[in-house]
Copies of this chain bind each other. A is one copy, B any other.
Amino acid sequence: MTDALKPGATIGILGGGQLGRMLSVAASRLGFKTHIFDPGANPPAGQVADQVTTAGYEDSAALLAFANAVDVVTYEFENIPTAALDIIESHGPIRPSREALRISQDRLTEKTFLQSLDLHIAPFADITDAASLEAALAEIGTPAILKTRRFGYDGKGQARIMSPDQADEALNAMAGAPSVLEGFVNFSHEVSVIAARGITGEVACYDPGENVHRDGILHTTTVPARLSASQRMDAVLLAAKVLNALDYVGVLGVELFVTPQGLVVNEIAPRVHNSGHWTQNGCAVDQFEQHIRAVAGWPLGDGQRHSDVVMENLIGDDMDRLPELAKERDCALHLYGKAEAKPGRKMAHVNRITRPQK
């Protein structure tokens, strides 16, 4: 821990949503202060952070002041404007690195990167116009999914193509944005691996969780996932491959499709991940603390799980169930401090401890 940040140091976090909030709380457990940078007023993370800067990512003066006030900068989301990162990086380290952001900000770049590591991914093609889409559909076949290269999350910016005659409609849905066509993967279920790499190159993985989505948004993550021992090993090895290739520092989420032919990488997220929230009640060191440990140059937790957990997201008016959930035994509540419960808005999650493990 010679180069490690000492307790009392300040960790800057770009983005003050629920991930920034839970990173902030984890940082406090290690004696760090946090400083949140967010364009929106009263971000959820601001309620538990030492300092908050409310400014846009185009506000150079605010970015400079922020970068000067903190000892390291990390982030809770990947779509940070490049110019903002340039300003921050001229004043101190950004962890995980720019390279991880560059790759994960663009689906085409990400897929090309994953392919270069010999990982299994769905067939894909760069789509720039109707002609390239037609050619790609001929090659990849249907069903397929057209996705914008950038700024997609929670099922947004996607259009499913069940037959070639739906190509035009799908392309229109992209509104002229550069896109990528993905072949359909015939998977039995989806799992994700939350993996971390420390500043000295050590790697630690949590047990894979099994994800169920509803309306394109993560609904539950169940640990342990249905995986064979060899699949479990594959998941860890491929996550480590990604981390090492990026010389990564921090927590990374890897979404995987489970198929009869093996694991297929869906996407990676260079940050703490919704499917890793279960670690808060399943491990001594959760994904948020793991991320803070990594970016602060501390030793990582080993990912050891003390309990089986089922995480469930509370979206929009799921919050009406709060009085009942608060009465449930072995059910840990995690609310995000958001003022208004809009449809589709992640408001909270619960971690149900289902069985201790060792």
Check if A355 is an interface residue, CB within 8 A of chain B: yes
Complex contacts, A245 vs chain B, CB 8 Å: none
Complex contacts, A4 vs chain B, CB 8 Å: 323
Give the contact-size bracket for chain A: 35 or more
Q: Which of B28, B281, B284, B336 contacts A284 (CB 8 A)?
A: B281
* Contact stretch, chosen from A155-163, A183-191, A325-333: A325-333
Q: How far is the CA of A31 from the CA of B299 in the complex (A)?
A: 31
Known: A1-B323, A8-B339, A356-B306. A330 touches B284 (CB 8 A): yes
Check if A293 is an interface residue, CB within 8 A of chain B: yes
Known: A306-B356, A327-B299. A332 touches B285 (CB 8 A): yes
Say yes or no: B335 contacts A30, CB within 8 Å. Answer: yes
Q: Which of B48, B301, B322, B327 contacts A25 (CB 8 A)?
A: B48
Q: How far is the CA of A326 from the CA of B284 in the complex (A)?
A: 11
How many copies of this chain does the complex contain? 2
Check if A307 is an interface residue, CB within 8 A of chain B: yes
Check if A206 is an interface residue, CB within 8 A of chain B: no
The chain B residue sitting closest to A285, CB to CB, is B332
Q: How far is the CA of A26 from the CA of B48 in the complex (A)?
A: 11
Complex contacts, A327 vs chain B, CB 8 Å: 299
Q: How far is the CA of A285 from the CA of B306 in the complex (A)?
A: 16
Complex contacts, A91 vs chain B, CB 8 Å: none
Q: Which of B8, B334, B355, B356 contacts A29 (CB 8 A)?
A: B334
Known: A284-B353, A285-B332. A47 touches B33 (CB 8 A): yes
Complex contacts, A21 vs chain B, CB 8 Å: 28
Known: A21-B28, A28-B48, A284-B353. A329 touches B302 (CB 8 A): yes
Q: Which of B25, B50, B306 contacts A306 (CB 8 A)?
A: B306
Report which A residues bind B (CB closer than 8 A).
1, 4, 7-8, 21, 24-25, 28-31, 33, 46-50, 281, 284-285, 293, 298-299, 301-302, 304, 306-307, 319, 322-323, 326-327, 329-337, 339, 348, 351, 353, 355-358
Apart from A1-B322, A7-B337, A298-B326, what 16 extra A-B contacts exist at CB < 8 Å?
Answer: A1-B323, A7-B335, A8-B337, A25-B25, A25-B28, A29-B332, A33-B47, A33-B337, A284-B329, A284-B330, A284-B331, A284-B332, A284-B353, A285-B332, A301-B329, A304-B329
